[in-house]
């Protein structure tokens, strides 16, 4: 069609129960629009009896199904996943040629979505993509998501940070719209069930404590179930009622299904559901006591219910998260400790009134408005990103053939891959040698003050982590009491700078992580990044830093946080402490000039 045509064809692809629950309200908005001719292309797990034949939900909801593409192989391997993409391409090539849309709407990061994106590109059909710009480093989803972003002409992101990331990938800002996560529209638009109704629909009582468990294969690992042993070992010891939902149809899912059934056969009060419709699932998030596993719904949707979540392992590493999420490595003792904390009344009270960074339930309206009004003229022709001075720096880096300095330790690698690290900084000092100090590795304090949120009780949450080289500690986009943490961290750095203390330990608030700061030779400090479990502590990474650089980075972080808090009218003891410490830091730098390390 053209921009002057009275209607436009919009095709929507759905492959599983998970993406359909996100697409439901955008489909409702589009189907009700008088200028839209809507068609749904259904494929993958939707058509599999093993995964509940969820195409029936789409039929029941009355959306027009244009094509059913049988493509999911009955396989438990990565080869089966690859062949599924190929079979889907063959079916979609015919389906999208027969009914050629003006725009094809895709969502998220499932590997099957590479098939419609490839076909649409070959057929010159513009793609609109939902939920780009996010991060999940423990799954191939991360690569799929970024590929879909570059193939798409229109973008709908769930958070402001994700929008900035899509733009940083070279996409034109006018094409990138912050809509929020469309799954949250269920919370504001769908009638969620009360507890008695939910119990009747499930056929089970929700006796306290009830824990929702969702575990998926970690597809970035060669053995996608490497982390599953710790998960199931912890569940065997957890008290109360456990409700399982089925894993995604990825390599290793059949193994997980059998493992879940085996646990349910021996553990009382354990129930398994192949599929829960969206309203039942979102209602369940409002009535269980906590959620555990590695599902994105524990990060994206659970926050709207202020539901404590224990996020395990590396699958969701890097994804923005709110303060309800407690991260645990894939170790049974750490998982059990995190579950114990999640079920504690004081933790639940601490996150009451929190804000979900993924939106407020208005995404579908934004998505429909853009799709029905965007100009179709030259939609496929994207302007190239402007190069900056960074390009010259990159060229210079490529020309440098010297070996980079190694980073000691490796934060948040899979437990089986973390190398042994010395327990104390003295060993590292001896290794360097007194006469040949090594230059420090790159260190960065990562915060995002505009992404901060405040609960009704006045607690301020936000992203805060350290980067040692390209390694993040505790995790990329780790969320905690960011103002409180930076106030204590900055105070500790200034005490070292002022020579009032030789050693300080700064703890994170919502997870068992800390950073030790110790005076080293003149103008330097040793940093140790530590994870604490129930019985001991483990050194995750270590770092030898210039004290002046560390102080300046801390001052910059403090000033950025303070500026946003002042702009929003947020004032509490932590912001006042930051303001006072800024003055102390300036005075200490003037009084005690810190020499650079050779």
Q: Which pTM does this prediction carry?
A: 0.75
Residues in contact with 156: Cβ distance below 8 Å, sequence separation at least 6, in sequence order: 128, 129, 130, 131, 132, 177, 178, 179, 363, 366, 367, 370
Which residue is associated with the tokens 């750490």? 334
What are the domain boundaries of the chain? 8-180+362-373, 192-350, 411-591
Supply the mean pLDDT for the chain: 88
Beta-bridge mates of residue 446: 465
> Within 10 A of 594 (CB to CB), how many other CB atoms are there?
18
C-beta of residue 320 within 8 angstroms of C-beta of residue 338: no
Whole-angstrom CA distances from 149 to 71, 108, 476 are 23, 10, 20
Q: Report pLDDT for 516.
A: 94
Q: With bands split at pLDDT 50, 70 and 90, how would you rate the model's confidence at 16?
A: very high
C-beta of residue 476 within 8 angstroms of C-beta of residue 570: no
Q: Which two tokens stand for residue 412?
A: 């948040």
Q: Which two tokens stand for residue 95?
A: 């389906």
Q: With bands split at pLDDT 50, 70 and 90, how would you rate the model's confidence at 593?
A: low
Q: How many CA atoms lie within 13 A of 87 on its CB side?
A: 15
Which of 100-114, 145-159, 475-489 has the lowest average pLDDT? 475-489
Please tell me if the domain spanning 8-180+362-373 has the same topology as the one spanning 192-350: yes
Q: What is the pLDDT of residues 283-295, one digit of tens each?
A: 999 999 999 999 9
- Residues of the chain with pLDDT > 90, as a percent, come to 74
Q: Which two tokens stand for residue 542?
A: 């270590």
Can you say whether the dihedral through the CA atoms of 560, 562, 566, 572 is positive or negative? positive
Interatomic CA distance for residues 391 and 124, integer angstroms: 31
Q: What is the pLDDT of residues 127-165, one digit of tens each?
A: 999 999 999 988 999 999 999 999 999 999 999 989 999
Q: Which two tokens stand for residue 368?
A: 């429909």
Interatomic CA distance for residues 461 and 482, integer angstroms: 6
Which has the higher per-residue pLDDT, 536 or 580? 580
> Within 10 A of 194 (CB to CB), how many other CB atoms are there?
11
Which has the higher per-residue pLDDT, 394 or 218? 218
C-beta of residue 15 within 8 angstroms of C-beta of residue 112: yes
Whole-angstrom CA distances from 498 to 35, 521, 553, 576, 594 are 68, 15, 16, 20, 10
Residues in contact with 340: Cβ distance below 8 Å, sequence separation at least 6, in sequence order: none
Q: How far is CA 366 from the centre of its chain?
A: 22
Which of 123-132, 417-426, 463-472, 477-486 has the lowest average pLDDT? 417-426
Rounded to 5 degrees, what are φ and ψ at 539?
-80, 115
Q: What is the mean pLDDT of residues 403-410?
A: 35
Of all helices (H) and strands (E), which one includes residue 54?
none
Q: Which two tokens stand for residue 495?
A: 């005490």
Closest CA to 116 of 142, 102, 97, 96: 96
Q: Report pLDDT for 420.
A: 27
Q: What is the pLDDT of residues 305-318, one digit of tens each?
A: 999 999 999 999 88
Q: Is the pLDDT of residue 238 over 50?
A: yes
Which has the higher per-residue pLDDT, 419 or 542? 542
- Helix 573-591 to helix 547-568 angle (10° resolution) is 150
Q: What is the mean pLDDT of residues 585-594?
A: 79
Pick from 77-81, 408-412, 450-454 the range whose average pLDDT is largest.
Answer: 77-81
Closest CA to 257 of 249, 246, 271, 270: 246
Which of 77-81, 415-419, 423-427, 591-595 has the lowest average pLDDT? 415-419
Q: What is the mean pLDDT of residues 276-289?
A: 95
Of all helices (H) and strands (E), which one includes residue 101?
none
Instruction: Give the DSSP per-residue string, 247-307.
Output: PPSSTTHHHHHHHHHHHHHHSSSEEEES---HHHHHHHHTTSSEEEES-THHHHTGGGGT-
- Reported for 166-169, long-range contacts at CB under 8 A and 24+ positions apart, including other chains, are 166/132, 166/133, 169/133
Of all helices (H) and strands (E), which one includes residue 61?
helix 55-61
Which residue is associated with the tokens 């062949």? 83
Q: Report pLDDT for 397.
A: 44
| Cβ neighbourhood burial of 279 (10 Å; 0-12, 13-18, 19+) | middle
Instruction: Give the DSSP per-residue string, 390-453.
Output: HHHHHHHHHH--SPPPPPSB-TT--GGGPPP--SSHHHHHHHH-TTSPPPPPPEEEEE-GGG-E
Q: Report pLDDT for 180.
A: 96
Interatomic CA distance for residues 300 and 292, integer angstroms: 14
Q: With bands split at pLDDT 50, 70 and 90, how would you rate the model's confidence at 387?
A: confident
Q: With bands split at pLDDT 50, 70 and 90, how would you rate the model's confidence at 591?
A: confident
Q: What is the mean pLDDT of residues 421-441?
A: 37
Residues in contact with 539: Cβ distance below 8 Å, sequence separation at least 6, in sequence order: 409, 421, 422, 423, 528, 529, 530
Q: Give 192-350's CATH code, choosing from 3.30.70.20, 1.20.140.10, 3.40.50.2000, 1.20.900.10.
A: 3.40.50.2000
Give the length of the chain: 598
Q: Is the pLDDT of residue 264 over 70?
A: yes
Q: Report pLDDT for 439.
A: 43
Closest CA to 11 of 75, 140, 98: 98
Q: With bands split at pLDDT 50, 70 and 90, how would you rate the model's confidence at 595?
A: low
Q: Give 8-180+362-373's CATH code, choosing from 3.90.25.10, 3.40.50.2000, 3.20.20.80, 3.40.190.10.
A: 3.40.50.2000
Interatomic CA distance for residues 422 and 426, integer angstroms: 9
Which residue is associated with the tokens 């607690």? 459
C-beta of residue 584 within 8 angstroms of C-beta of residue 490: no
- Alpha-carbon dihedral 64, 68, 74, 76, rounded to 10 degrees: -60
Going across the sheet that includes 325-328, the strands are 270-273, 241-245, 210-214, 290-293, 309-312, 325-328
- Biggest distance spanned by C-alpha atoms of the chain: 78
> Within 10 A of 525 (CB to CB), how many other CB atoms are there?
25
């Amino acid at each position: 069609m053209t921009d002057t045509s009275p209607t436009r064809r919009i095709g929507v692809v759905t492959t599983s129960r998970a993406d359909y629950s996100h697409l439901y309200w955008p489909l409702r908005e589009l189907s009700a629009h008088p200028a839209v001719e809507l068609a749904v292309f259904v494929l993958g797990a939707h058509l599999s009896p093993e995964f509940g034949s969820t195409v029936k939900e789409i039929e029941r909801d009355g959306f027009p199904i244009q094509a059913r593409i049988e493509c999911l192989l009955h396989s438990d391997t990565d080869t089966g996943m690859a062949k599924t993409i190929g079979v889907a391409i063959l079916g979609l090539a015919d389906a999208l040629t027969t009914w050629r849309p003006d725009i094809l709407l895709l969502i998220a990061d499932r590997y099957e979505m590479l098939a419609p994106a490839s076909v649409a590109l070959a057929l010159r059909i513009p793609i609109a993509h939902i939920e780009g710009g996010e991060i999940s480093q423990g799954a191939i989803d991360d690569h799929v998501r970024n590929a879909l972003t570059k193939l798409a002409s229109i973008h709908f992101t769930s958070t402001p940070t994700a929008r900035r990331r899509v733009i940083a990938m070279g996409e034109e800002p006018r094409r990138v719209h912050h809509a929020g996560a469309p799954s949250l529209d269920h919370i504001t638009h769908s009638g969620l069930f009360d507890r008695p109704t939910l119990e009747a629909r499930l056929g089970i009582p929700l006796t306290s404590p009830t824990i929702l468990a969702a575990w998926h294969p970690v597809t970035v690992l060669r053995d996608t179930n490497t982390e599953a042993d710790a998960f199931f070992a912890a569940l065997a010891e957890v008290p109360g009622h456990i409700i399982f939902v089925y894993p995604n149809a990825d390599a290793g899912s059949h193994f997980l299904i059998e493992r879940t059934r085996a646990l349910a056969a021996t553990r009382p009060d354990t129930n398994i559901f192949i599929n829960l419709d969206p309203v039942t699932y979102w209602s369940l998030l409002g009535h269980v006591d906590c959620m555990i596993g590695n599902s994105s719904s524990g990060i994206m949707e659970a926050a709207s219910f202020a539901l404590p979540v224990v996020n395990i392992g590396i699958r969701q590493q890097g994804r923005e998260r709110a303060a309800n999420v407690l991260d645990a490595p894939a170790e049974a003792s750490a998982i059990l400790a995190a579950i114990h904390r999640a079920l504690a009344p004081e933790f639940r009270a601490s996150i009451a009134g929190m804000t979900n960074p993924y939106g407020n339930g208005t995404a579908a309206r934004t998505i429909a408005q853009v799709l029905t009004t965007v100009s179709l003229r030259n939609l496929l022709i994207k302007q190239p990103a402007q190069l900056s001075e960074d390009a010259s720096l990159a060229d210079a880096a490529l020309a440098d053939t010297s070996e980079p300095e190694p980073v000691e330790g490796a934060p948040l690698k899979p437990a089986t891959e973390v190398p042994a690290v010395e327990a104390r900084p003295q060993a590292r000092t001896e290794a360097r040698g007194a006469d040949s100090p090594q230059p420090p590795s790159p260190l960065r304090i990562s915060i995002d003050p505009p992404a901060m949120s405040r609960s009704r009780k006045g607690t301020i949450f936000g992203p805060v982590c350290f980067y040692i080289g390209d390694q993040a500690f505790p995790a990329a986009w780790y969320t905690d009491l960011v103002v409180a943490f930076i106030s204590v961290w900055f105070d500790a750095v200034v005490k070292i700078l002022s020579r009032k203390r030789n050693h300080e330990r700064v703890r994170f608030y919502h997870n068992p992580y800390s950073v030790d700061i110790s005076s080293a030779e003149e103008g330097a400090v040793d940093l140790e990044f530590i994870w604490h479990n129930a019985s001991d502590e483990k050194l995750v990474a270590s770092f030898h830093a210039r004290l002046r650089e560390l102080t300046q980075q801390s001052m910059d972080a403090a000033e950025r946080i303070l500026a946003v808090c002042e702009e929003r009218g947020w004032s509490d003891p932590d912001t006042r402490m930051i303001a006072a410490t800024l003055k102390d830091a300036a005075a200490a730098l003037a009084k005690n000039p810190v020499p650079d390390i050779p």
